[in-house]
Amino acid sequence: MSKRTARPKTKSVAGKRATAHALVPVVVAPGRQSRPEHPHQNLDRGVRAAAARLSGGVATHAFVEAWTDWAHHMAQSPGRQLELIEHAQRSALKLMTYVADTKHDGQPPFAPKGYDHRFDSEGWNEAPFEMWKLGFLAMQDWWDLATDRLRGLQPDDADRTRFMARQTLDLVSPSNFPWLNPEIINETVATGGQNLRDGAANFAHDFMKTVSQAHEAPPEGYQIGKDLACTPGQVVFRNDLCELIQYAPQTENVRSEPILIVPAWIMKYYILDLSPHNSMVNYLVGQGFTVFMISWCNPTAEQAALSLEDYRQRGVMAALDMINAIVPDQKVHAVGYCLGGTMLAIAAATMARGGDDRLATITLMAAQVDFAEAGELLLFLDESQVAFLEDMMWDQGYLDRPQMARAFSTIRSEDLIYSRAVRRYFLGKEDLPTDMGVWVADTTRMPARMHAQYLRGLFLENRLSAGRFAVEGRVIAMKDIAAPMFVIATEDDHIAPWRSVYKTQLFTDCDLTFVLTSGGHNGGIVNEPGKSGRHFRMSHRSQGALYVGPDAWLAQRAAISGSWWPEWKDWLDDQSSGERSAPAACAPGQDHAVIIPAPGTYVHQT
């Protein structure tokens, strides 16, 4: 198969897709022998791609295998069956006892999970709605036990059956039905049914938007470059993959070492430059740092052949080279968020292997270097699923953000899908715009080749922490990194679970500060000072110190109220060498490098 990375120019859609097909190779597991691909296999891939479009990219193999494995072992476990019968009897007795106690002095026998807000309305505490709620929660509790680990059952299959049982139960929750939900009934009576009419209009609008894949402009007050992503700066470098933004100084002098932020390519960069009050970029610039930010392009089918190595070389390393030209003879504080942190870790390990010491420090925010405990995103990621996604991307040239968003939403379907649907379609309430909500809706794509490499090499085969991830033909190791690290995890992260992020300490020997903060994957990072109800835990591990497991670490660390940003700022201060006058927004002799004002053009791509 051709190793070309350049594609011939063509104006026809069919020609573009055919070229993309030729440039995205089938990735085979290491060590396996593969014969040349027969042209008839394109027919197989086309059929699977069509099926993937209908299913949203979800393969059915893992579902069938999980339920078959669970049913087989459950049939051979009469002891577990008796346990389930007894559990059902105890639950029924609890419910009857609670109903018989008309005073309801005691606590309800079942309660929703902390993130489940479907039953927050006071109406759910009144008859008969309370019994419907408790009956549903009792059923949920029973299925949690039924799908618990079972001797002989594959642990992954146990987790998968639990996940699927929860999804099925969520679909039939009484909160989803207008005639069983007291909040909907009360609203319908109070408005004379106007809520249902408004909800029908909302549903029609969302349906047409989904079918047409139309991209809506941000609402008034949330314009990109005016209200969001509005920290002043200049684009100082651009290639086909990314733009590099240099933010204008807000202090007379700045720290000698600049900061380079590498965001994830799965999202627009301005999650770290939202509104002025919660912009991490604005905070850092205001504290006297020179900040550079990578803004990734939103790839199309024409860029299907972009690889992980392209993102490292023409993204991270190209940005670093430009920063060195603008701020010569200074090391750089490198910061990576989510997948951008994983890419930064790969780049840093590669630099360390080659003796490149240009990084003063490395900060990883909600970023994983080991994917063995990557949470529920791993539940259905197997060879069949990856091949299914590869064939879909082979057909369209990229993985679209809505296709990824569905996977993220199902992990917390109680709140992210059903609570929103009830509020929008049955209560007739519009989604109140927020800066983060606008950012979430500003979808991006992932190029086919890069995403396939990422899924296989990192998620499926976990090569980075296993010492099997090769860059330029040679394996890299996280233990080669000598620069001090600052690693942040969030307590409620369902994308990069904090115990998975914590394992960075297991695969590195450098001086490392670890922070566990309240909040989720985004809210825990966008954690500006002054916001109430926030806390964090923090520790320092000196170079070469012994490893402490996450549970033991958690037991030893008391929560500290407030934001972790000031602690990070102080840590960066300690790792800096002093101050200097602010650098110009271009390299010496390269005045043309200032292309356009921030936020640039790539952030506006849809």
Q: Which residues are catalytic?
A: 338
Tell me if residue 35 falls in helix, strand or coil. Answer: coil
**Where is 141: in which H helix or E strand?**
helix 129-146
What phi and psi, each to the nearest 5 degrees, are found at residue 246? -110, 120
Using CA atoms, how far apart are residues 97 and 343, in angstroms rounded to an integer?
56
What phi and psi, each to the nearest 5 degrees, are found at residue 575? -95, 0
Long-range contacts of 59-63 (CB under 8 A, 24+ apart): 59/380, 59/384, 59/385, 59/387, 59/388, 61/382, 61/384, 61/385, 62/160, 62/379, 62/380, 62/382, 62/384, 62/385, 63/160, 63/164, 63/380
**Of the candidates 563, 557, 545, the residue with the CA atom closest to the CA atom of residue 287:** 563
- CB distance 301 to 396 below 8 Å: yes
Which residues sit opposite 379 in a β-bridge? none
Which residues sit opposite 262 in a β-bridge? 336
**Of the candidates 87, 205, 228, the residue with the CA atom closest to the CA atom of residue 146:** 87
Using CA atoms, how far apart are residues 547 and 603, in angstroms rounded to an integer?
41
CA 307, 310, 311, 315: dihedral to nearest 10 degrees? -160
- The amino acid sitting at 37 is E
A 10 A CB-CB count for 526 gives: 20
- CB distance 240 to 313 below 8 Å: no
